[in-house]
Amino acid sequence: MQDFQGRTAVVTGGASGIGLAIARRLGREGMNLVLGDIEQPALDEAVAAFDAAGVPVLGMETDVSDVESVRRLAAAADQRFGNIHLLCNNAGVGGGGAILEPDDLDVWEWVLGVDLFGVLHGIKVFGPSMVAHGEPCHMVNTASMAGLVPTPGLGSYTVSKYAVVAMSETLSLETADTNLGVSVLCPGFVQTKIADSQRNIPEHLVRLEEPSEEEEFVRQAVAELISAGIAPEQVADDVVDAVRSGRFYILTHPEYAAQIRHRAEWIASGTAPSSWEI
């Protein structure tokens, strides 16, 4: 997809972090913007900023884990702008502890609902009409480096991101002869608020017990790595470049290439995974 000017992009999780950075970059490219986000105050602020800058924008509170909410977003986008040319299935949350933790199924349901089913809902709701309109278009599904290499202590997050990578790979093969390009975004640590995802956990899923000492250690370690990560704007630049060039894997941190090769070697040799420093 080469032409951005006057085309329309949908970005979920578009009111903060990577999603907002992508939206800002796409706005500078001349695209109409449709932002879906579960945080209404942040969404209102983002929409007001785009309005002030003269960027055509529609913002709508959206819970990507609810397919009906995504369908409402699609209907509003169609009514306002018509055909969708770029879909960034970006909304995501962090969470989850060790896989053997017995009492965290509520957290698994939440994380997979947003990080896996949120992407699937976007694909199924927007994808068929994007192919049907026949114009050049592209889909970017946000996974993570945690979708390419195992990440101990973040079980549900890692499983969801592996699934997004697999889903994107399969979708790319299935749509190879269509007008729809596909990319999967696998960033390392980026300066976002994902370590504070608990702020958006549904009330009925909130665990009453305090986090374990191990869980709190992992959370703080991840928060420190995120604070030292790259800027979201760098990720947005990589996304636009990948859409223009048709690149499938968007790897924002080339220093992790060795870890990806190690995993391939484990698979080929039948060797059990081993840990590394991140």
User: Residue 230 forms beta bridges with which residues?
Assistant: 190
Nearest of 248, 249, 142, 150 to residue 194 by alpha carbon: 142
Q: How many helices (H) and strands (E) does the chain have?
A: 9, 7
In whole angstroms, how large is the CA radius of gyration of the chain?
18
162 is catalytic: no
Q: Which two tokens stand for residue 233?
A: 């704007």
Phi and psi at residue 256, to the nearest 5°: -90, 5
Secondary-structure percent of the chain, ordered helix, strand, coil, rounded to 5:
55, 15, 35
Given the residues 157, 162, 249, 256, the one annotated as active site: 157
Quote the CA–CA distance of 62 and 71 in Å, as a whole number.
Answer: 10
Quote the CA–CA distance of 138 and 126 in Å, as a whole number.
Answer: 11
Quote the CA–CA distance of 177 and 74 in Å, as a whole number.
Answer: 24
Type of residue numbered 176: A
CA 22 to the chain's CA centroid: 11
Q: Which two tokens stand for residue 83?
A: 């055909």
Active-site residues, by number, are 157
